[in-house]
Amino acid sequence: MADRSELWRTWLEAHLWIERPGGDGWWHISPRPDGVVGEWPLATPVYLLTAYNPRGEDLPLEENEKRLEELAAYLQKELVAAVRSLGASEDGSWMEPGFALLDVAEAQALAIARRFEQAAIYAWRAERLEVVGALDEGRTSVGWSLDEEPRGPASD
């Protein structure tokens, strides 16, 4: 497993994209270490997770894509409302696609993350953007700002 403190720092500095419900563009969420938050666009918290790189260990792309397909099938089977998401480092050297879970409790999001051996998830709320430990205890947060992007993260 990669160094835990390094992973958490990377996650806190990540930029996130969430496909807007209804598919009419994407939200780009930027971390704000100063704690300032933007205008909240939703009614409930959103939980972001992936199936890539279980336990923080790098896997080949083909295996990660297979795991992501399994996560998508699981969410569909369990009737979990979700839209596509992406987490990436500011410089683009790290990028992982996943899903933003809508209308679920944090406990359910964490259970799904554990099922797919994810070390942590994102919890995006009106008050903060958090990294929440799934396999280990831990929780840390930053503020956030929001931009709308009609074509999504790949259009840059």
Query: Cβ neighbours of residue 112 under 8 Å, at least 6 residues apart?
Result: 49, 71, 74, 75, 80, 101
The proportion of the chain whose per-residue pLDDT surpasses 70, expressed as a percent, equals: 95
pLDDT at 76: 97
- pTM comes to 0.91
The pLDDT tens digits of the residues spanning 17-32 come to 999 988 888 999 999 9
16 confidence band (pLDDT: 50, 70, 90): very high
The answer to whether residue 78 is domain-embedded is yes
**Spatial separation of the C-alpha atoms in residues 118 and 51, rounded to whole Å:** 7
pLDDT at 134: 96
Residue-number span of the structural domain to which 53 is assigned: 4-149
Residue 33 has pLDDT above 80, yes or no: yes
The answer to whether residue 110 is domain-embedded is yes
The answer to whether residue 155 is domain-embedded is no
**Spatial separation of the C-alpha atoms in residues 139 and 12, rounded to whole Å:** 11
The answer to whether residue 13 is domain-embedded is yes
Q: Is 134 exposed, middle or buried (0-12, 13-18, 19+ CB in 10 A)?
A: buried
The pLDDT tens digits of the residues spanning 51-108 come to 999 998 999 999 999 999 999 999 999 999 999 999 998 888 889 999 999 999 999 9
Please count the structural domains in the chain.
1
- In DSSP terms, 31 is beta-bridged to 144
